[in-house]
Amino acid sequence: MSVGKKAKNVLYTFVVDPLKIIVHNKAGLIGFIGLLIYIFMAIAGPYIVPLDTIPKPEQRYLPPSWEHPLGTDFEGKDIFSQIVNGARDVLFVAFLAGTITVLIATVLGSIAGFKGGLWDNVIMAVDEILLTIPQFPLLSVLAALTRLDNFTLALVIGVLSWPALARAIRSQVLSLKERDFIEAARALGLDAKHIVFTEIMPNLMSYIVVSWILSMTGAVYSQVGLVFLGFVPFTSHNWGVMINLAWTWGAIYYKNSVWYIISPIMAITGFQLSAILFSRALEEIFNPRLRE
């Protein structure tokens, strides 16, 4: 097979075919477009819509208009620019925390399920200990004591979020390793590395990718919750900061301040909804049986 034909096959396998599935899945397409908008907003948004940093008391709590699409806040600053500029930190923490969660859970869950014995006992013991500790209160204490930056916050959220997913992946591996095709691979003398990465992992990809998406949505709630409660320094203007300031400055008591309160909540909800809808298309991409 020529290099050009191989490249074409790769293009169809990893780009064209998945896009066709996404287009034919209406919910997945809506989620995909939504995520693209959020990603574009996080990457290019601050250059297109600079953050409004100049207080204008005379424009306090203005309703939506052409000049201010989402109105203004308690200082007369444009809310839309705050939403756009606040996306980067939220998505960065969500992406990194979700990735760390899935990596740890996949590695430890696979080892526990495939190896069994002492490996399984030790990993599941640590898993059970972490599951008994309330995650958000522990995260709140750590954030308050260490004043986490975005990178460290994502790292801590990821490290604390893997136990439930690891247990689920372990169960999947325990089931898969008893299947006939795994027994056939063992009979052929294939080593454990080949069996895990070539036989087991492809069957877990659908679950792992969807779990990655859902882990990101959980990380968003954790981050915004910590910022709203004031446990994380206000190093930037993200959506959690907006909710915190709206609450602190009593925006709920002003009739015209509704957009200042609702806008960050709508931004968070839109991202969560887009991610969940897109996960439905991902299930079809990785699981051909769902396409029927």
- For residue 118, what are its two tokens? 């002492």
CATH number of the domain residue 154 falls in: 1.10.3720.10
Q: What pLDDT was estimated at residue 167? A: 93
- For residue 257, what are its two tokens? 């301040």
Q: Around Cβ 19, how many Cβ atoms within 10 Å?
A: 15
* Total domain count, the chain: 1
**Type of residue at 132:** T
pTM of the model: 0.85
Q: What CA–CA distance (Å, rounded) separates 160 from 144?
A: 16
- The pLDDT averaged over each successive group of 10 residues in the chain (292 residues) is 56 64 83 94 92 86 89 89 91 94 94 88 93 88 82 91 93 84 77 78 84 91 87 77 82 78 92 90 69 54
Calculate the average pLDDT of the chain: 84
Which domain covers residue 150, as residue numbers?
3-291
- What are the CA-CA distances from residue 172 to residues 140, 159, 168, 169 (Å)? 32, 21, 6, 5
Q: What contacts 5, CB < 8 A, 6 or more positions away?
A: none
